[in-house]
Structure 1
Amino acid sequence: MKLAFALILSLFCEKILEVWHKAGKQEEYVKRGEIVYTLKPQHAKYVPDANSIQLSPSEKDLYNVKVNSLGEAPKAVTFSSAKWCMLEASQFSDKFTVHFDKEGNFFHADYHPGAHGCQEEAQVTNVEFNTSIDLVKPHHELRYMRPDMFVSAWLRVTEEELKQKENAEYSNFFTKYWYIIVPVVLVLLVGGGDPPKEGEGNGGR
Protein backbone atom coordinates (compact mmCIF):
# COMPACT_ATOMS: atom_id res chain seq x y z
CA MET A 1 0.00 0.00 0.00
CA LYS A 2 2.81 2.41 0.91
CA LEU A 3 4.64 1.55 -2.31
CA ALA A 4 1.54 2.25 -4.42
CA PHE A 5 0.99 5.56 -2.64
CA ALA A 6 4.62 6.57 -3.18
CA LEU A 7 4.32 5.69 -6.88
CA ILE A 8 1.16 7.78 -7.31
CA LEU A 9 2.73 10.67 -5.41
CA SER A 10 5.84 10.58 -7.58
CA LEU A 11 3.73 10.96 -10.73
CA PHE A 12 2.22 14.20 -9.42
CA CYS A 13 5.47 15.65 -8.04
CA GLU A 14 7.60 18.02 -10.09
CA LYS A 15 10.88 16.45 -11.21
CA ILE A 16 14.02 17.80 -12.83
CA LEU A 17 16.39 16.57 -15.54
CA GLU A 18 19.73 18.30 -16.02
CA VAL A 19 20.86 19.24 -19.54
CA TRP A 20 24.57 19.56 -20.30
CA HIS A 21 26.36 20.38 -23.55
CA LYS A 22 29.69 20.83 -25.24
CA ALA A 23 30.92 21.45 -28.79
CA GLY A 24 34.04 21.59 -30.89
CA LYS A 25 37.27 20.97 -29.00
CA GLN A 26 35.66 21.51 -25.63
CA GLU A 27 36.45 18.54 -23.36
CA GLU A 28 34.10 19.00 -20.42
CA TYR A 29 30.33 19.30 -20.46
CA VAL A 30 28.90 22.54 -19.06
CA LYS A 31 25.38 22.91 -17.74
CA ARG A 32 22.94 24.28 -20.29
CA GLY A 33 19.70 24.16 -18.32
CA GLU A 34 17.01 21.93 -16.81
CA ILE A 35 13.89 20.10 -17.95
CA VAL A 36 11.20 20.53 -15.29
CA TYR A 37 8.23 18.18 -15.65
CA THR A 38 5.27 16.38 -14.09
CA LEU A 39 3.55 13.27 -15.45
CA LYS A 40 0.12 13.78 -13.81
CA PRO A 41 -0.87 16.06 -15.48
CA GLN A 42 1.69 15.68 -18.24
CA HIS A 43 3.57 18.95 -18.48
CA ALA A 44 7.17 19.98 -19.15
CA LYS A 45 9.22 23.13 -19.69
CA TYR A 46 12.84 23.95 -20.40
CA VAL A 47 14.59 26.36 -18.03
CA PRO A 48 17.94 27.69 -19.33
CA ASP A 49 20.86 28.08 -16.93
CA ALA A 50 21.56 31.75 -16.34
CA ASN A 51 25.27 31.01 -15.85
CA SER A 52 25.63 28.80 -18.93
CA ILE A 53 28.82 29.37 -20.90
CA GLN A 54 28.36 30.50 -24.51
CA LEU A 55 29.69 28.02 -27.06
CA SER A 56 31.48 29.20 -30.19
CA PRO A 57 32.46 26.18 -32.29
CA SER A 58 32.87 26.15 -36.05
CA GLU A 59 29.93 25.14 -38.23
CA LYS A 60 31.49 21.75 -39.00
CA ASP A 61 31.83 20.77 -35.34
CA LEU A 62 29.55 18.38 -33.48
CA TYR A 63 27.23 19.62 -30.79
CA ASN A 64 26.98 17.11 -27.92
CA VAL A 65 24.18 16.95 -25.37
CA LYS A 66 23.90 15.01 -22.12
CA VAL A 67 20.70 14.58 -20.11
CA ASN A 68 20.63 13.01 -16.66
CA SER A 69 18.08 12.48 -13.91
CA LEU A 70 18.40 14.39 -10.66
CA GLY A 71 17.92 12.90 -7.21
CA GLU A 72 17.49 9.31 -8.43
CA ALA A 73 19.89 6.51 -7.60
CA PRO A 74 21.38 5.28 -9.83
CA LYS A 75 21.22 8.25 -12.19
CA ALA A 76 19.91 7.67 -15.69
CA VAL A 77 22.15 9.34 -18.29
CA THR A 78 21.69 9.65 -22.05
CA PHE A 79 23.88 11.24 -24.75
CA SER A 80 23.03 12.73 -28.16
CA SER A 81 24.80 14.77 -30.82
CA ALA A 82 24.07 16.85 -33.92
CA LYS A 83 25.97 19.06 -36.34
CA TRP A 84 26.45 22.60 -35.10
CA CYS A 85 25.50 23.99 -38.52
CA MET A 86 22.06 22.35 -38.17
CA LEU A 87 21.49 24.33 -34.99
CA GLU A 88 22.56 27.51 -36.76
CA ALA A 89 20.20 26.73 -39.65
CA SER A 90 17.30 26.28 -37.21
CA GLN A 91 18.12 29.52 -35.36
CA PHE A 92 18.80 27.30 -32.33
CA SER A 93 15.33 25.80 -32.18
CA ASP A 94 15.49 22.26 -30.84
CA LYS A 95 13.42 19.60 -29.10
CA PHE A 96 13.96 16.92 -26.45
CA THR A 97 11.74 13.82 -26.53
CA VAL A 98 11.91 12.38 -23.02
CA HIS A 99 10.97 8.73 -22.41
CA PHE A 100 9.75 7.21 -19.15
CA ASP A 101 8.90 3.69 -17.97
CA LYS A 102 5.49 2.72 -16.55
CA GLU A 103 6.57 3.84 -13.05
CA GLY A 104 7.43 7.28 -14.37
CA ASN A 105 11.21 6.89 -14.19
CA PHE A 106 13.31 8.64 -16.82
CA PHE A 107 15.45 6.32 -18.95
CA HIS A 108 16.14 8.04 -22.31
CA ALA A 109 16.01 11.36 -24.16
CA ASP A 110 16.15 11.98 -27.92
CA TYR A 111 17.56 15.26 -29.19
CA HIS A 112 16.28 16.87 -32.41
CA PRO A 113 17.60 20.10 -33.97
CA GLY A 114 14.91 22.19 -35.63
CA ALA A 115 16.57 21.86 -39.06
CA HIS A 116 17.34 18.65 -40.94
CA GLY A 117 20.29 20.09 -42.83
CA CYS A 118 22.83 22.90 -42.92
CA GLN A 119 22.57 26.23 -44.73
CA GLU A 120 25.22 28.56 -46.02
CA GLU A 121 25.63 31.95 -44.36
CA ALA A 122 23.62 30.89 -41.34
CA GLN A 123 26.11 32.26 -38.81
CA VAL A 124 24.50 33.34 -35.54
CA THR A 125 26.43 35.41 -33.02
CA ASN A 126 24.00 35.18 -30.09
CA VAL A 127 23.15 31.62 -29.04
CA GLU A 128 19.70 31.53 -27.44
CA PHE A 129 17.97 28.15 -27.51
CA ASN A 130 14.26 27.93 -28.27
CA THR A 131 13.59 24.51 -26.79
CA SER A 132 10.42 22.39 -26.69
CA ILE A 133 9.85 19.21 -24.69
CA ASP A 134 7.82 16.07 -25.49
CA LEU A 135 7.08 13.51 -22.76
CA VAL A 136 6.52 9.88 -23.79
CA LYS A 137 5.24 7.04 -21.60
CA PRO A 138 4.60 3.45 -22.81
CA HIS A 139 0.95 2.71 -23.58
CA HIS A 140 1.35 -0.99 -22.82
CA GLU A 141 3.27 -2.66 -20.05
CA LEU A 142 6.27 -4.62 -21.27
CA ARG A 143 5.97 -8.14 -19.89
CA TYR A 144 8.89 -10.40 -19.10
CA MET A 145 8.53 -14.08 -20.01
CA ARG A 146 10.26 -16.45 -17.61
CA PRO A 147 12.37 -19.27 -19.13
CA ASP A 148 9.90 -21.94 -17.97
CA MET A 149 7.02 -20.02 -19.56
CA PHE A 150 8.99 -19.78 -22.80
CA VAL A 151 9.71 -23.55 -22.79
CA SER A 152 6.04 -24.36 -22.14
CA ALA A 153 4.94 -22.12 -24.98
CA TRP A 154 7.55 -23.69 -27.28
CA LEU A 155 6.35 -27.22 -26.38
CA ARG A 156 2.73 -26.28 -27.12
CA VAL A 157 3.70 -24.91 -30.50
CA THR A 158 5.80 -28.01 -31.24
CA GLU A 159 2.92 -30.37 -30.37
CA GLU A 160 0.53 -28.44 -32.59
CA GLU A 161 3.02 -28.52 -35.45
CA LEU A 162 3.44 -32.30 -35.07
CA LYS A 163 -0.34 -32.84 -35.12
CA GLN A 164 -0.70 -30.68 -38.21
CA LYS A 165 2.14 -32.57 -39.88
CA GLU A 166 0.57 -35.97 -39.09
CA ASN A 167 -2.82 -34.86 -40.41
CA ALA A 168 -1.16 -33.58 -43.57
CA GLU A 169 0.67 -36.90 -44.06
CA TYR A 170 -2.56 -38.89 -43.69
CA SER A 171 -4.31 -36.59 -46.13
CA ASN A 172 -1.49 -36.88 -48.66
CA PHE A 173 -1.46 -40.69 -48.35
CA PHE A 174 -5.20 -40.96 -49.07
CA THR A 175 -4.95 -38.49 -51.96
CA LYS A 176 -2.11 -40.48 -53.50
CA TYR A 177 -3.57 -44.00 -53.16
CA TRP A 178 -7.36 -43.43 -53.16
CA TYR A 179 -7.85 -45.45 -56.36
CA ILE A 180 -6.48 -48.51 -54.52
CA ILE A 181 -8.06 -47.87 -51.13
CA VAL A 182 -11.63 -47.28 -52.36
CA PRO A 183 -12.02 -50.55 -54.38
CA VAL A 184 -10.58 -52.59 -51.50
CA VAL A 185 -13.04 -51.04 -49.06
CA LEU A 186 -15.96 -51.65 -51.46
CA VAL A 187 -14.98 -55.32 -51.93
CA LEU A 188 -14.83 -55.80 -48.18
CA LEU A 189 -18.21 -54.16 -47.70
CA VAL A 190 -20.04 -55.94 -50.56
CA GLY A 191 -18.37 -59.34 -50.58
CA GLY A 192 -18.04 -59.71 -46.88
CA GLY A 193 -20.67 -61.51 -44.83
CA ASP A 194 -21.22 -64.11 -42.17
CA PRO A 195 -19.99 -67.64 -43.08
CA PRO A 196 -22.78 -70.24 -43.61
CA LYS A 197 -23.86 -72.05 -40.48
CA GLU A 198 -23.19 -75.78 -40.13
CA GLY A 199 -25.86 -77.83 -41.86
CA GLU A 200 -27.04 -74.99 -44.04
CA GLY A 201 -26.80 -75.58 -47.80
CA ASN A 202 -27.15 -79.40 -47.46
CA GLY A 203 -30.38 -81.21 -47.95
CA GLY A 204 -32.03 -82.74 -44.90
CA ARG A 205 -31.80 -86.44 -44.36
Structure 2
Amino acid sequence: MIYKYFFSVSVVLVLVVKDVYPSVLEHDGSLFIKLEHYLDENISEPTERGNISVQSMRIGQTHVNQNQLTPQESKLLSGLSSSNQFYKIRATVNGKEDKPYISSVKACMLAESELDDRLSISLDYAGRVVAISQIIASKSSCEGATVPLEKLKYFTSNVYVRHAEMGPIPDTASYIQRLEREKEAKERGEGKDNRSLFAKYWMYIIPVVIVLVISSATNAENGGAGGAS
Protein backbone atom coordinates (compact mmCIF):
# COMPACT_ATOMS: atom_id res chain seq x y z
CA MET A 1 0.00 0.00 0.00
CA ILE A 2 2.78 2.43 0.95
CA TYR A 3 4.74 1.50 -2.19
CA LYS A 4 1.75 2.18 -4.45
CA TYR A 5 1.14 5.53 -2.77
CA PHE A 6 4.71 6.77 -3.11
CA PHE A 7 4.98 5.43 -6.65
CA SER A 8 1.89 7.40 -7.69
CA VAL A 9 3.30 10.52 -5.98
CA SER A 10 6.59 10.08 -7.89
CA VAL A 11 4.74 9.85 -11.20
CA VAL A 12 2.80 13.01 -10.40
CA LEU A 13 6.04 14.87 -9.50
CA VAL A 14 7.67 13.85 -12.78
CA LEU A 15 4.63 15.06 -14.72
CA VAL A 16 4.65 18.36 -12.82
CA VAL A 17 8.36 18.90 -13.55
CA LYS A 18 7.81 18.21 -17.24
CA ASP A 19 4.88 20.65 -17.24
CA VAL A 20 6.83 23.42 -15.46
CA TYR A 21 9.99 22.94 -17.60
CA PRO A 22 8.84 21.98 -21.09
CA SER A 23 11.64 20.88 -23.40
CA VAL A 24 12.74 23.32 -26.09
CA LEU A 25 12.76 20.34 -28.41
CA GLU A 26 8.96 20.27 -28.13
CA HIS A 27 8.40 24.02 -28.35
CA ASP A 28 10.61 25.67 -30.94
CA GLY A 29 11.06 29.40 -31.24
CA SER A 30 13.29 32.20 -32.48
CA LEU A 31 15.37 34.95 -30.92
CA PHE A 32 16.87 38.24 -31.95
CA ILE A 33 19.89 39.43 -29.97
CA LYS A 34 21.48 42.86 -30.24
CA LEU A 35 25.28 42.96 -29.77
CA GLU A 36 27.20 45.96 -28.47
CA HIS A 37 30.77 46.35 -27.22
CA TYR A 38 32.91 48.63 -25.09
CA LEU A 39 35.98 49.89 -26.95
CA ASP A 40 36.80 52.86 -24.74
CA GLU A 41 37.26 52.30 -21.01
CA ASN A 42 36.48 55.97 -20.37
CA ILE A 43 33.03 55.82 -22.01
CA SER A 44 30.18 54.18 -20.11
CA GLU A 45 27.94 53.54 -23.13
CA PRO A 46 28.81 50.79 -25.66
CA THR A 47 28.78 51.06 -29.45
CA GLU A 48 26.95 48.77 -31.85
CA ARG A 49 28.73 45.56 -32.92
CA GLY A 50 25.93 43.70 -34.75
CA ASN A 51 23.19 41.18 -34.05
CA ILE A 52 22.44 37.48 -33.80
CA SER A 53 19.31 35.92 -35.24
CA VAL A 54 18.36 32.49 -33.89
CA GLN A 55 15.90 31.04 -36.39
CA SER A 56 15.43 27.76 -34.52
CA MET A 57 16.19 27.25 -30.84
CA ARG A 58 15.45 23.55 -31.24
CA ILE A 59 18.33 22.82 -33.61
CA GLY A 60 20.42 25.90 -32.83
CA GLN A 61 20.18 27.45 -36.28
CA THR A 62 21.68 30.94 -36.09
CA HIS A 63 22.83 33.80 -38.30
CA VAL A 64 25.23 36.49 -37.11
CA ASN A 65 25.61 39.90 -38.72
CA GLN A 66 28.46 42.12 -37.48
CA ASN A 67 29.77 45.53 -38.40
CA GLN A 68 33.24 46.21 -39.72
CA LEU A 69 35.39 48.15 -37.28
CA THR A 70 36.31 51.64 -38.34
CA PRO A 71 40.01 52.69 -38.22
CA GLN A 72 39.26 54.62 -35.02
CA GLU A 73 37.58 51.58 -33.43
CA SER A 74 40.52 49.37 -34.41
CA LYS A 75 42.87 51.79 -32.67
CA LEU A 76 40.69 51.77 -29.54
CA LEU A 77 40.72 47.97 -29.44
CA SER A 78 44.47 47.93 -29.97
CA GLY A 79 44.80 50.43 -27.11
CA LEU A 80 42.79 48.17 -24.81
CA SER A 81 45.07 45.29 -25.77
CA SER A 82 48.33 47.16 -25.15
CA SER A 83 47.13 48.45 -21.76
CA ASN A 84 46.06 44.95 -20.68
CA GLN A 85 42.39 45.90 -20.33
CA PHE A 86 39.22 43.88 -20.80
CA TYR A 87 37.03 43.93 -23.87
CA LYS A 88 33.34 43.70 -22.93
CA ILE A 89 30.22 42.92 -24.91
CA ARG A 90 26.60 43.61 -24.03
CA ALA A 91 23.97 41.32 -25.52
CA THR A 92 20.28 42.27 -25.33
CA VAL A 93 17.51 39.82 -26.18
CA ASN A 94 14.53 41.47 -27.81
CA GLY A 95 11.31 40.28 -26.21
CA LYS A 96 9.11 40.94 -23.22
CA GLU A 97 12.12 41.79 -21.06
CA ASP A 98 15.14 43.54 -22.54
CA LYS A 99 17.66 42.17 -20.07
CA PRO A 100 21.31 42.81 -21.06
CA TYR A 101 23.96 40.14 -20.57
CA ILE A 102 27.54 41.34 -20.02
CA SER A 103 30.58 39.22 -20.87
CA SER A 104 34.27 40.11 -21.04
CA VAL A 105 37.60 38.72 -22.24
CA LYS A 106 41.14 40.04 -22.22
CA ALA A 107 41.43 42.52 -25.09
CA CYS A 108 44.90 41.21 -25.95
CA MET A 109 43.49 37.70 -26.45
CA LEU A 110 40.83 39.02 -28.82
CA ALA A 111 43.37 41.11 -30.74
CA GLU A 112 45.92 38.29 -31.03
CA SER A 113 43.18 35.95 -32.29
CA GLU A 114 42.44 38.61 -34.97
CA LEU A 115 38.84 39.02 -33.77
CA ASP A 116 38.04 35.30 -33.89
CA ASP A 117 35.69 34.44 -31.02
CA ARG A 118 32.78 32.23 -29.98
CA LEU A 119 29.44 33.39 -28.63
CA SER A 120 27.50 30.96 -26.46
CA ILE A 121 23.75 31.33 -25.83
CA SER A 122 22.48 29.25 -22.89
CA LEU A 123 18.77 28.39 -22.65
CA ASP A 124 16.76 26.96 -19.77
CA TYR A 125 14.11 24.21 -20.00
CA ALA A 126 11.46 26.68 -21.17
CA GLY A 127 13.66 28.13 -23.91
CA ARG A 128 14.45 31.34 -22.04
CA VAL A 129 17.93 32.86 -22.33
CA VAL A 130 19.86 32.54 -19.07
CA ALA A 131 23.36 33.57 -20.23
CA ILE A 132 25.26 34.89 -23.23
CA SER A 133 29.03 34.66 -23.04
CA GLN A 134 32.06 35.29 -25.24
CA ILE A 135 34.97 32.84 -25.51
CA ILE A 136 38.33 33.08 -27.26
CA ALA A 137 38.86 29.47 -28.28
CA SER A 138 42.16 29.90 -30.11
CA LYS A 139 43.94 31.60 -27.19
CA SER A 140 44.33 30.64 -23.55
CA SER A 141 46.62 33.56 -22.67
CA CYS A 142 48.19 36.67 -24.18
CA GLU A 143 51.59 36.30 -25.85
CA GLY A 144 52.38 40.01 -26.21
CA ALA A 145 52.30 39.95 -30.01
CA THR A 146 51.71 43.18 -31.93
CA VAL A 147 48.75 42.83 -34.29
CA PRO A 148 48.52 45.19 -37.32
CA LEU A 149 45.42 47.38 -37.35
CA GLU A 150 44.34 46.03 -40.76
CA LYS A 151 43.77 42.65 -39.09
CA LEU A 152 41.45 44.19 -36.52
CA LYS A 153 38.54 44.95 -38.83
CA TYR A 154 36.29 41.92 -39.19
CA PHE A 155 34.84 39.69 -36.51
CA THR A 156 34.69 36.00 -37.37
CA SER A 157 32.32 34.62 -34.76
CA ASN A 158 30.78 31.18 -34.26
CA VAL A 159 27.52 31.10 -32.33
CA TYR A 160 26.44 28.10 -30.25
CA VAL A 161 23.04 27.47 -28.63
CA ARG A 162 23.27 25.39 -25.45
CA HIS A 163 20.18 23.67 -24.04
CA ALA A 164 19.67 22.83 -20.37
CA GLU A 165 19.78 19.12 -19.58
CA MET A 166 17.33 17.37 -17.25
CA GLY A 167 19.06 16.04 -14.15
CA PRO A 168 18.69 12.43 -12.97
CA ILE A 169 15.40 11.46 -11.28
CA PRO A 170 15.78 9.86 -7.81
CA ASP A 171 15.09 6.11 -7.64
CA THR A 172 12.12 6.47 -5.31
CA ALA A 173 10.64 3.07 -6.17
CA SER A 174 13.69 1.13 -4.94
CA TYR A 175 13.74 3.12 -1.71
CA ILE A 176 10.06 2.41 -1.03
CA GLN A 177 10.57 -1.29 -1.77
CA ARG A 178 13.38 -1.43 0.79
CA LEU A 179 11.14 0.21 3.40
CA GLU A 180 8.42 -2.36 2.66
CA ARG A 181 10.88 -5.26 3.11
CA GLU A 182 12.12 -3.85 6.43
CA LYS A 183 8.54 -3.41 7.66
CA GLU A 184 7.60 -7.00 6.71
CA ALA A 185 10.72 -8.35 8.43
CA LYS A 186 9.83 -6.55 11.66
CA GLU A 187 6.27 -7.87 11.51
CA ARG A 188 7.58 -11.46 11.12
CA GLY A 189 9.90 -10.93 14.07
CA GLU A 190 13.06 -11.44 12.03
CA GLY A 191 14.62 -8.38 13.53
CA LYS A 192 13.94 -9.32 17.19
CA ASP A 193 16.83 -10.16 19.53
CA ASN A 194 16.01 -13.56 21.09
CA ARG A 195 19.15 -13.84 23.25
CA SER A 196 18.94 -14.38 27.00
CA LEU A 197 19.18 -11.53 29.47
CA PHE A 198 22.73 -12.54 30.46
CA ALA A 199 23.84 -12.78 26.78
CA LYS A 200 22.56 -9.28 26.12
CA TYR A 201 23.94 -7.54 29.23
CA TRP A 202 26.92 -9.65 30.38
CA MET A 203 29.28 -6.71 30.10
CA TYR A 204 27.24 -4.91 32.76
CA ILE A 205 26.41 -7.91 34.98
CA ILE A 206 29.96 -9.30 35.41
CA PRO A 207 31.49 -6.09 36.88
CA VAL A 208 28.63 -5.86 39.41
CA VAL A 209 29.15 -9.50 40.45
CA ILE A 210 32.88 -8.93 40.89
CA VAL A 211 32.26 -5.86 43.06
CA LEU A 212 29.79 -7.81 45.20
CA VAL A 213 32.24 -10.73 45.64
CA ILE A 214 35.08 -8.42 46.64
CA SER A 215 32.79 -6.54 49.03
CA SER A 216 31.60 -9.80 50.67
CA ALA A 217 35.16 -11.04 51.09
CA THR A 218 36.20 -7.75 52.66
CA ASN A 219 33.30 -7.83 55.10
CA ALA A 220 34.11 -11.43 56.04
CA GLU A 221 37.73 -10.53 56.76
CA ASN A 222 36.71 -7.56 58.87
CA GLY A 223 34.28 -9.73 60.83
CA GLY A 224 36.92 -12.40 61.51
CA ALA A 225 39.42 -9.84 62.67
CA GLY A 226 36.91 -8.39 65.15
CA GLY A 227 36.17 -11.84 66.70
CA ALA A 228 39.83 -12.60 67.26
CA SER A 229 40.32 -9.48 69.33
Which residue of 65, 81, 105 maps to 1:47?
65
| Residue identity matched to 2:161 | L
Which residue of 69, 77, 81 maps to 2:93?
69
Instruction: Please give the residue correspondences for 1:138-177 in structure 2 after superposition, counting only pairs within 5 Å.
Output: 138-140=164-166
Instruction: Could you tell me which runs of 5 or more consecutive residues in structure 1 were left unpaired when the two chains were aligned.
Output: 1-6, 144-159, 182-205
2:80–2:87 CA contact under 8 A, matched in 1: no
| Moved segments of 4+, more than 6 Å | 7-10
1:58 equivalenced with 2:80 (yes/no):
yes
TM-score, normalization by structure 1: 0.60
1:34–1:49 CA contact under 8 A, matched in 2: no
Cα 1:18–1:180 shift into 2, 3 Å: closer
Cα 1:116–1:180 shift into 2, 3 Å: closer
Partner residue, 1:19: 35
Which residue of 150, 156, 163 maps to 1:137?
163
What are the Cα deviations for residues 56-102 of structure 1, in whole angstroms up to 9, with x where unaligned?
Answer: 233212101111101x1212321111111111121111001101122
1:97–1:133 CA contact under 8 A, matched in 2: yes
Partner residue, 1:31: 48
Cα 1:171–1:20 shift into 2, 3 Å: farther
What are the Cα deviations for residues 7-31 of structure 1, in whole angstroms up to 9, with x where unaligned?
Answer: 999724x421111101333321011
Higher-strand-fraction structure: 1
Instruction: Could you tell me which runs of 5 or more consecutive residues in structure 2 were left unpaired when the two chains were aligned.
Output: 1-23, 170-178, 203-229
Instruction: Please give the residue correspondences for 1:66-105 in structure 2 after superposition, counting only pairs within 5 Å.
Output: 66-70=90-94, 72-105=95-128
Larger deviation: 45-54 or 97-106? 45-54
Higher-helix-fraction structure: 2
Give the whole-Å Cα distance in 1 for the aligned partners of 2:149 and 2:69.
18
Aligned-pair identity (%): 12
Give the whole-Å Cα distance in 2 for the aligned partners of 1:39 and 1:84.
30
TM-score, normalization by structure 2: 0.54
2:38–2:89 CA contact under 8 A, matched in 1: yes
Larger deviation: 35-44 or 128-137? 35-44
Higher relative contact order (CA 8 A, sep 6+): 2
What are the Cα deviations for residues 29-73 of structure 1, in whole angstroms up to 9, with x where unaligned?
Answer: 011011111213321122103687724233212101111101x12
| Residue identity matched to 2:44 | E
2:68–2:155 CA contact under 8 A, matched in 1: no
Cα 1:132–1:178 shift into 2, 3 Å: same
1:178 equivalenced with 2:195 (yes/no):
no
